[in-house]
Copies of this chain bind each other. A is one copy, B any other.
Amino acid sequence: MQNFFTPKSIAVIGVSKNQKKVGSVIFNNLIKNYKGKIIPINPKQKSIQGKKAYPTVLDVKSNIDLAIIAIPANFVIRTIDQCGKKGIKNVIIISSGFKEIGNERLEHELYKVLEKNKIKCIGPNCLGVYDAHSKLDSLFLPTSQMTRPKSGSISFLSQSGALGSALVDLAAYEDFGFAKFISYGNATNLTETDFLEYLGKDKQTKVICLYIEGIRDGKKFMATAKKIKKPIIVIKGGRSEKGSKATLSHTGSLAGSFEVYKGAFKQSNIILADNLQELFHIAKLFDKLPKTKGKRVQVITNGGGYGIVTTDALEENNVQLANLSEKTKKRLTALFPKICIVNNPMDLVGDATDERYKIAIDACMRDSNVDFLLIILLPQTPLITKSIIKELNQFKNKKPMVFIVTGGVKTKPFVKELEKNDFPVYEFPSEAVKAIKKFI
């Protein structure tokens, strides 16, 4: 599998003089950002962008580790045969026009020619791969329309290309760190299970996110998932009757009963996200937090109403609230102004300073009745400054801390700074609470 992500040499089949064509976008991204050798394949051109072009892969003398194919579906079979003869073992087929448009015959031919040549294939009908570490990038969406995330530890496996790319684009905006993004389309020979197994072993991947509509071999998938010790978070497309029907024409998947999937996910320790935004809300916690030793959550706030709606959300989601020890209560009550409420939620009120937060957090870190801190920081209040972030760093690896920060243009730099320091931040209480529920 590794040749999909860090090949020494790549042939891009279907590069043309037209810079807007899929093959050209991929070729241009690669020559700009990837360190390996990039070879354009085009039957009519002698050179493209200053690189010598070849009519077919068979005309290339040097070794080729990976072929990326972006040509009309009708020419794919012949090209795969040539790849086989050339000894290429990994191909990404971007081209569509197979079973997803009802062309089962061509799909089956493709399956056979891949088998015959012992070629591992991603696709067809996919975006392929973006590796944020090696910068291997077969996405045909130009970077001017879709930004790529920085390198990090989250990998995202998506059966849908457009859905995947929209979410990856958003994740880049929100500064998530990625290991690999894989859009695998029709999964003609390599399936979701193969990728899952690979990501389970991949050292750069800490958290695995999945968008799937259907699973080819449920038992194998479950067995694979069970063996993986990393968090696996899934959002399932086709949960409803009409949604499920639509998957058939989308990726040719039989979505099957959602109840069956739910059961299978539960058995395999797979975390089910309820909607798209939750997928990354949950991933953020696994990516950034130390393991929690317990489930008792303490809320700290500088806005009474925010503390209340957060507590409501925790109780409604059956998350356990911490009970501060008498010792902690006594100490903080003595230290804080009378108007503060030392309880759960703990209300440090509107004139809370950085120092008051520091004292409150320190006390919770020392209190064995508290496992997890959910900290609301409303920076509209006058005495909260950016220096609080430095203070927070000293507590980072003691117990998990999650932040809720809501606000406008003045608040965004504060959030960025918190996230740069690897603190997970949410805009709203219910977002934080739903992610925490699935984390603890």
Interface residues of A (CB under 8 A from B): 20, 96, 101, 141-142, 144-147, 158-167, 169-173, 211, 213, 235, 237-243, 246-247, 249-251, 274-277, 302-309, 311-316, 321, 338-339, 341, 343-345, 347, 350, 378-382, 406-412, 427-431
Within the assembled complex, what's the spacing in Å between the Cα atoms of A413 and B240?
A: 33
Q: How many copies does the complex hold?
A: 2
Contact among B173, B277, B305, B339 for A101, CB-based, below 8 A: B339
Q: Can you identify 16 A-B contacts, CB atoms within 8 angstroms?
A: A147-B408, A162-B350, A163-B306, A165-B378, A170-B406, A170-B407, A211-B305, A238-B308, A238-B312, A239-B315, A240-B312, A240-B315, A242-B344, A243-B311, A249-B341, A250-B307
Inter-chain contact A305/B275, CB cutoff 8 Å: no
Task: Please give the distance in Å from A288's CB to the nearest CB on chain B.
Answer: 20
Residue of B at shortest CB range from A237? Answer: B308
Residue of B at shortest CB range from A345? Answer: B246
Contacting residues, chain B, for A250 (C-beta < 8 A): 304-305, 307-308, 341, 347
Contact among B164, B303, B307, B347 for A166, CB-based, below 8 A: B303
Task: Please give the distance in Å from A128's CB to the nearest CB on chain B.
Answer: 14
Task: Please give the distance in Å from A20's CB to the nearest CB on chain B.
Answer: 7
The 4 closest A-B pairs by CB, nearest first: A160-B305, A162-B303, A163-B305, A173-B408
Given A275-B430, A408-B147, answer yes or no on A242-B304 (Cβ-Cβ < 8 Å): no
Task: Please give the distance in Å from A429's CB to the nearest CB on chain B.
Answer: 7
Contacting residues, chain B, for A345 (C-beta < 8 A): 242, 246
Inter-chain contact A350/B161, CB cutoff 8 Å: yes
Between A144, A308, A380, the greatest number of chain B beta carbons within 10 A of the residue's beta carbon is seen for: A308
Apart from A242-B311, A246-B345, list 5 A-B contacts with CB within 8 A: A96-B339, A145-B379, A246-B311, A246-B343, A276-B428
Residue of B at shortest CB range from A147? Answer: B408
Between A158, A345, A347, A382, the greatest number of chain B beta carbons within 10 A of the residue's beta carbon is seen for: A382
Contacting residues, chain B, for A315 (C-beta < 8 A): 239-243
Inter-chain contact A251/B304, CB cutoff 8 Å: yes
Inter-chain contact A430/B305, CB cutoff 8 Å: no
Task: Please give the distance in Å from A10's CB to the nearest CB on chain B.
Answer: 22
Contacting residues, chain B, for A304 (C-beta < 8 A): 160, 162-163, 246, 249-251
Inter-chain contact A429/B276, CB cutoff 8 Å: yes
Contacting residues, chain B, for A165 (C-beta < 8 A): 378, 380
Inter-chain contact B321/A242, CB cutoff 8 Å: yes
Task: Please give the distance in Å from A117's CB to the nearest CB on chain B.
Answer: 28
Inter-chain contact B276/A430, CB cutoff 8 Å: yes
Within the assembled complex, what's the spacing in Å between the Cα atoms of A315 and B343?
A: 41
